[in-house]
Structure 1
Amino acid sequence: MSDASWMPWVLVGLPAAAGAILAAGAGGRRPGRPPETEPAARLGAEAAADRSAAVRPVDRLAAPVAVLVASAVVVLAFVSAVSRPRASAPFLGSVDGGGFGLEVDGLAAAMVPTIAVVTLLVLVFSLGTADGELTGAVGAGRARFHGLMLLFAAAALVTATATTLPTLLLAWEVMGAMSWALIGFRWSEERRVSAGLTAFLTTRTADLGLYVAAGAAVAGGGGLALDRLAAVAPGWRDVVAAGIVVAALGKAAQLPFSFWLSRAMEGPSPVSALLHSATMVALGGFLLLRVQPLLTATGWAGPFVAWLGAISAVALGVVALAQRDLKQLLAASTAAQLAFVVLAAGTGSLVGGSAQLVAHASTKALLFLAAGVWLALLGTRSLDQLAGVARRWRVVGWSATLGALSLAGIAPLSLWATKDAVLASLLDPAGPRVPAAGLLYAVALVGAALSAAYSGKILATLWSARLPGGADPVRPGGDERPGAARTVPLVVLATGSVVLGALALPPVVSWFAGTVGASVPAVVWPSLIGAAVLSLAVAGVTVWVVRAGRLPEPGWARHWLGLEEAAHRLAVRPAFALARALDAADRRAVEPVPLAAATLARRAAQALAGFDLHVLAGAVSLAASGVRSLAERARRPQTGQLHQYYVQAVLVATAAIALLVTSALVR
């Protein structure tokens, strides 16, 4: 253990403790109806003042405290990335690798600062978020919101630094629980609560794979340390790999679990920005990078993951292209972009996969926060009603434009370099062998081209001068302006999208590879030039097609390929049908048995009670009467008169003498 072994505990403990305190001390509305059910007459200044008076001081201080804590975590994250501390504590002492372990190694050194910085910027953004979007009441619930956000970030940091399966499982579960609470944060609205439950149950079902993996790892003799899973005995090793792959795909919203990400859009905009950029969804792909040696050791898991990633990039890219809701488009693009991380894990491209995570976090947080600004100002997420919106709010518009260009893979912005680094791993002769690598490259290239297509759709909408129906777009002018708390995070993230484009430069690539502890494929740099030309051409053609109004929007993909309906048909409805059948069987076959036994026992008890009442009690009463009669007769001679006692003594003596004489005569 290094001298800085205290640092991981502080890194994850500070946001966890602050989040728990804020969430536990959260204020809220006084008991009564939710805000949207109040009569219109109560929604005036008097009602607002009444609700404001109910806000506790902790709600007013929550946002500044959360920002202060997040700022300290950012400093700790960068220091940890340089010093690489490690810490551990006993947990399951009898199991090899069963301790609670944290380490900022190469992969975590790239991810931990990303989580910390994005969390800070999202919390700063939330300073300017209207109370109604977070709580539906003035100030009420802000402490709970910021407490949950800090707990969410703490769980993400533990996930990124976990060295053992028990540590990972703990963080994995807390992260899922916090996502449920944040997506359904506005609990008074049923659709939001339902969305949170859908996300939680879907990911929770996939999470069972981690428990299977932990059991198989112990049974296979490899222990629970993540870096030793590849050494688990053959057979058990396959089970470990399968369990981890399922759990990771569920969190990363890859096929077939992707639909929960669509429902997650019901959460507040800061939640969407954090959830989709640097925490839970991204960490599903990160876990696959973490266990990449295990995927390679099985022989089948690496190719399976690679192909699933490429197919997800294409399928979910089509889903994104079909959307007319900005947040739905961004959600689908999140899953499509993280599919490249899954592809990287399958092909052994730790450099490309890690860089894709970092670059995507900056880009996607930017776009979701921009969508949150427009949602607050205009009250809509529809692309049809956002046409020309970048012309009105220039800072937000240009920041979102840089994010969309980066998402499209336009050089020299960030995701241009990272996506191609992943693709280049397929051409690396020193990398893992993947069946039909050429075809896989072509499929992944289609996914990259679709990135430019749906990004071009965003750009053409934001800067459009005409709505599809010929109506006027959002016109310049107006007095509403987003405050500094909203625009500063956007500018910082937009700058990050530009600066991270340096990941394409050979010296930076070499430095980043050394940071994550991996090698750089020799074909990366030449392929980046071709990728730049291809991305520019595809994006340019796409924008032209969008402006001409001829971009296809496949209706069959708009509802996320029908994945949620399929889940209901294949899992939810059969589960309910089985439950109803078991309930009916219980009522008809199982329940009558204990009822009959109870009836029999009751009748037996009644019979025994009658026997006891009429037989045993009667016998006892008769015996008591006889004893009482004898006692009365025995008590009669006891008169207290001495002469009577003398007579009785004479009679007894006479009887005794007579008995003796009789006995002597008989002899």
Structure 2
Amino acid sequence: MELALVGLVAVPVLAGVVLLAVGRPAARVAAPVAIGVASVVLVLAALVAVGRPTVSSALIAGIDLGLAVDGLSAVMVLVVSAVTLAVVVFAAAEMDAGHRFFGLLLVFVGAMLLTVTATNLLTLLAAWEVMGAMSYALVAHRWQAQRPMESGALAFLVTRSADIGLYVAAGAALGGGVGTLALADLPQASGGWRDLLTAGLVVAALGKSAQLPFSFWLARAMDGPSPVSALLHSATMVAAGGYLLLRIEPLLAGSGWAGPLVAWVGAVTVVLLGLVALAQTDLKQLLAASTCSQIGFIVLAAGVGATAGGTLQLVAHAATKSLLFLVAGAWLTALGTKQLAPLRGAARRWPLVGAVFAVGVLSLAGLPPLSIFFGKDAVLAAAAATSPALYVAGLVGLLVSAAYAAAALVAVLGRAPADTGYDREQPGTQEIPLVARLPLVPLALGAAVLGAAAEPVRAALGSVGEPEPTLVEALVSGVLAAAVVLAVLVPARAGLLGAAVLPALPPIVGILTRVTLLRGWLGLERVALAGVAEPTMALARALSRFDERVVDGAVRAAAGGTRAAARLADLRLEGPLSRGLDGLGAAGRALGRLARRPQTGQLHQYYAQAAGALAVLALFLILVR
């Protein structure tokens, strides 16, 4: 079973690396290879979910490269693997994607599986980094165009900035006495180190899950291919932040301050990004903002200690949102647009696709008995037991969710407009291949019935004592969701008969679509640019000028002085020194010639010279005395 766990991570990573290394020759087989690998990964995920193996290998003194499958990670590996297979099949049918796309996708999936099975911060950090790098490459897959490249870079830089929190957390864990960096041991960190550790993990998780104030990167990530959006923003990258917070829930609860902070960040994101979703006229942007909002329920669950409820919401959201993104991608390929107004009538043109889309958006609305209804109710029950204010905020978020989900449904119903507006973003194929429709059906089934997994999820997690929704709470949330959906659908009846969609919606929806601040994602990108990026670049330019004018200037001045000294030495000193040395040489040669004269080879002359020398020495001694 340990081998299955190693293979779960290694198989997609190795297959992806091989596809990337082989290059163009692998383009024709890339899609079948990716489908085969995704199928193997799903089988391995089922095996490890049942067997719950643990693998540990010594890395450095006191720290192991640890992998393990427990209740939470068992749920996650199954969800990630199932969504991956659906996305890969869809991409093979819809995209002209070769070795590069599928290679990056498989490496990304391997990194995500490593993230959810990591047992310590070092393993988590390695997986987190690879996942971030692959997400940048996938969002910027169409790198020939400037916009995807810029969007990929922005998404990467925002999440990487938040990822610094993981490094801070690892350092604080070591400083606080958690020598093994094991996630289970993090609450044992001492004093202020634990607070610093908690803060680092919270920042990293909020950045990756696109919660406020980091949400805007998800809007730009929509410039990537639709299968990338379906994978990254349903069960993998964005969900990784929520997963991490659920994983460290004991640390959040033990800190005293982190739990309430995380809960309120999630609740505020649920409401504000729900309003942002309601204001969008682009289907992918609506789904992206709704992802932030729905992940907010998971973050709220982690903050109030509802691990089982948050996990159930994560599972339901993964099936629902991957379905909706794939449908949006299918319509974009077929009709050449993802704008809501031109998409009117798309559901009638392809009834099966329209039907599964309806299942997805009604689940997103929190309508009973669909999946997200059960996840939201579990989270709201825990919020009510913790704080009435949090519960009210959650209910407001539920109302907004129902409104934007119903608005999306209204937009694709009815008859096609006279001015279709097709092919404005890309040439449409006017068809959705049968193979591309295949993964939509099981995903729709998951969006419909995964709510029934509430008890198995609680059993898998061993959750004891978590508040469960009462009948009254379930009725309140279900009735409110249904009322909002009807309030949107009924006034839209004229739209279903052929009138424009947006004017037929309730006035508040039409107003929100014209609020620039909401359509522009609360201006978060501009705030980040003006408040962080531009000051940082200004500081960098100032430091660059200081380097050029002061540091480099001093170096250039020193070099100039050395050259001037060299020229001075060449002009003033070299000649006299050379002549002096020549004179010394001549004097030495003259003395040599004089020294050779007494060397005649005649013995009587040597005696005479010795006698003369002794006489001189005797005279010297007499005079000195």
TM-score (norm 2): 0.91
Structure 2: distance between partners of 1:340 and 1:494: 21
1:277 partner SS: coil
Aligned counterpart in structure 1 of residue 89 of structure 2, from 117, 121, 124: 124
Whether 2:389 is the aligned partner of 1:443: answer: no
Whether 2:522 is the aligned partner of 1:561: answer: yes
Alpha-carbon spacing, 1:656–1:181, altered in 2? closer, same or farther (3 Å) = closer
Structure 1: distance between partners of 2:312 and 2:612: 126
Whether 2:469 is the aligned partner of 1:524: answer: yes
1:446-485 maps to which residues of 2 (within 5 A)?
446-465=396-415, 467=417, 471=419, 480-485=430-435
Alpha-carbon spacing, 1:511–1:345, altered in 2? closer, same or farther (3 Å) = same
Alpha-carbon spacing, 1:374–1:622, altered in 2? closer, same or farther (3 Å) = same
Q: Which runs of 5 or more structure 2 residues have no equivalent in the other structure?
A: 423-427, 496-503
Alignment deviations for residues 494-528 of structure 1 (CA, whole Å, 9 cap, x no partner): 1111221324xxxxx33320111213645424122
Structure 2: distance between partners of 1:200 and 1:626: 78
Partner residue of 1:501? 451
2:200 partner SS: helix
**Once the 2 structures are TM-superposed, how far is the Cα of residue 606 of structure 1 from its aligned partner?**
3.9
Structure 2: distance between partners of 1:664 and 1:363: 120
Equivalent position amino acid for 2:455 in 1:
S
Alpha-carbon spacing, 1:575–1:479, altered in 2? closer, same or farther (3 Å) = closer
Partner residue of 2:487? 541
**Once the 2 structures are TM-superposed, how far is the Cα of residue 602 of structure 1 from its aligned partner?**
2.8
Whether 2:121 is the aligned partner of 1:175: answer: no
Whether 2:154 is the aligned partner of 1:198: answer: yes
Alpha-carbon spacing, 1:492–1:654, altered in 2? closer, same or farther (3 Å) = closer
Alpha-carbon spacing, 1:618–1:420, altered in 2? closer, same or farther (3 Å) = same
Whether 2:548 is the aligned partner of 1:587: answer: yes
Partner residue of 1:144? 100
Structure 1: distance between partners of 2:50 and 2:21: 34
Q: Please, which moves more after superposition, 511-520 or 166-175? A: 511-520
Equivalent position amino acid for 1:534 in 2:
L
Aligned counterpart in structure 2 of residue 66 of structure 1, from 34, 46, 56: 34
Counterpart contact for 2:395–2:477, Cα < 8 Å: no
Structure 1: distance between partners of 2:613 and 2:408: 130
Partner residue of 2:192? 235
Counterpart contact for 1:513–1:520, Cα < 8 Å: no
Partner residue of 1:257? 214
Partner residue of 2:340? 383
Partner residue of 2:72? 107
Alignment deviations for residues 114-161 of structure 1 (CA, whole Å, 9 cap, x no partner): 000000110011111232xx4xxxxxxx11110110111011101111
Alpha-carbon spacing, 1:649–1:559, altered in 2? closer, same or farther (3 Å) = same
Counterpart contact for 1:67–1:123, Cα < 8 Å: yes
Alpha-carbon spacing, 1:416–1:660, altered in 2? closer, same or farther (3 Å) = closer
Structure 2: distance between partners of 1:452 and 1:108: 30
Equivalent position amino acid for 2:564 in 1:
R
Structure 2: distance between partners of 1:167 and 1:460: 45
Equivalent position amino acid for 2:484 in 1:
V
Aligned counterpart in structure 1 of residue 19 of structure 2, from 15, 18, 22: 22
Equivalent position amino acid for 1:511 in 2:
P
Root mean square deviation of aligned Cα: 2.4
2:94 partner SS: coil
**Once the 2 structures are TM-superposed, how far is the Cα of residue 393 of structure 1 from its aligned partner?**
1.0
Partner residue of 2:8? 11
Alignment deviations for residues 216-261 of structure 1 (CA, whole Å, 9 cap, x no partner): 1111113311111111112111111111000000000000000000
Alpha-carbon spacing, 1:486–1:625, altered in 2? closer, same or farther (3 Å) = same
1:346-365 maps to which residues of 2 (within 5 A)?
346-365=303-322
**Once the 2 structures are TM-superposed, how far is the Cα of residue 633 of structure 1 from its aligned partner?**
6.0
Partner residue of 1:622? 583
**Once the 2 structures are TM-superposed, how far is the Cα of residue 307 of structure 1 from its aligned partner?**
0.8
Partner residue of 1:45? none
1:342-421 maps to which residues of 2 (within 5 A)?
342-421=299-378
Structure 2: distance between partners of 1:630 and 1:563: 91
Partner residue of 1:431? none
**Once the 2 structures are TM-superposed, how far is the Cα of residue 623 of structure 1 from its aligned partner?**
1.9
Equivalent position amino acid for 2:327 in 1:
A
**Once the 2 structures are TM-superposed, how far is the Cα of residue 23 of structure 1 from its aligned partner?**
1.4
Structure 2: distance between partners of 1:180 and 1:479: 28
Whether 2:457 is the aligned partner of 1:512: answer: yes
Structure 1: distance between partners of 2:54 and 2:238: 25
Structure 2: distance between partners of 1:441 and 1:601: 75
Structure 2: distance between partners of 1:328 and 1:122: 19
Partner residue of 1:85? 53
Structure 2: distance between partners of 1:150 and 1:587: 45
Equivalent position amino acid for 1:571 in 2:
V
1:87 partner SS: strand
Structure 2: distance between partners of 1:379 and 1:447: 32
Alpha-carbon spacing, 1:348–1:595, altered in 2? closer, same or farther (3 Å) = same
Structure 2: distance between partners of 1:449 and 1:494: 22
2:490 partner SS: helix
Counterpart contact for 1:24–1:144, Cα < 8 Å: no
Counterpart contact for 1:452–1:542, Cα < 8 Å: no
Structure 2: distance between partners of 1:206 and 1:69: 32
Aligned counterpart in structure 1 of residue 266 of structure 2, from 309, 331, 353: 309
**Once the 2 structures are TM-superposed, how far is the Cα of residue 388 of structure 1 from its aligned partner?**
0.9
1:235 partner SS: helix
Q: Between Structure 1 and Structure 2, how many residues are aligned? A: 599
Equivalent position amino acid for 1:512 in 2:
V
Whether 2:378 is the aligned partner of 1:425: answer: no
**Once the 2 structures are TM-superposed, how far is the Cα of residue 612 of structure 1 from its aligned partner?**
6.2
Counterpart contact for 1:411–1:501, Cα < 8 Å: no
Partner residue of 1:46? none
Counterpart contact for 2:348–2:415, Cα < 8 Å: no
Equivalent position amino acid for 1:207 in 2:
D
Counterpart contact for 1:389–1:473, Cα < 8 Å: no
**Once the 2 structures are TM-superposed, how far is the Cα of residue 604 of structure 1 from its aligned partner?**
3.4
Partner residue of 2:559? 598
**Once the 2 structures are TM-superposed, how far is the Cα of residue 108 of structure 1 from its aligned partner?**
0.6
2:233 partner SS: helix
Alpha-carbon spacing, 1:510–1:662, altered in 2? closer, same or farther (3 Å) = closer
**Once the 2 structures are TM-superposed, how far is the Cα of residue 480 of structure 1 from its aligned partner?**
4.3
Alignment deviations for residues 71-107 of structure 1 (CA, whole Å, 9 cap, x no partner): 011011011111111111112324xxx2111111111
Alpha-carbon spacing, 1:651–1:83, altered in 2? closer, same or farther (3 Å) = closer
Percent identical: 48
2:77 partner SS: helix
**Once the 2 structures are TM-superposed, how far is the Cα of residue 466 of structure 1 from its aligned partner?**
6.3
**Once the 2 structures are TM-superposed, how far is the Cα of residue 471 of structure 1 from its aligned partner?**
4.8
1:222 partner SS: coil
1:384 partner SS: coil
Structure 2: distance between partners of 1:406 and 1:22: 37
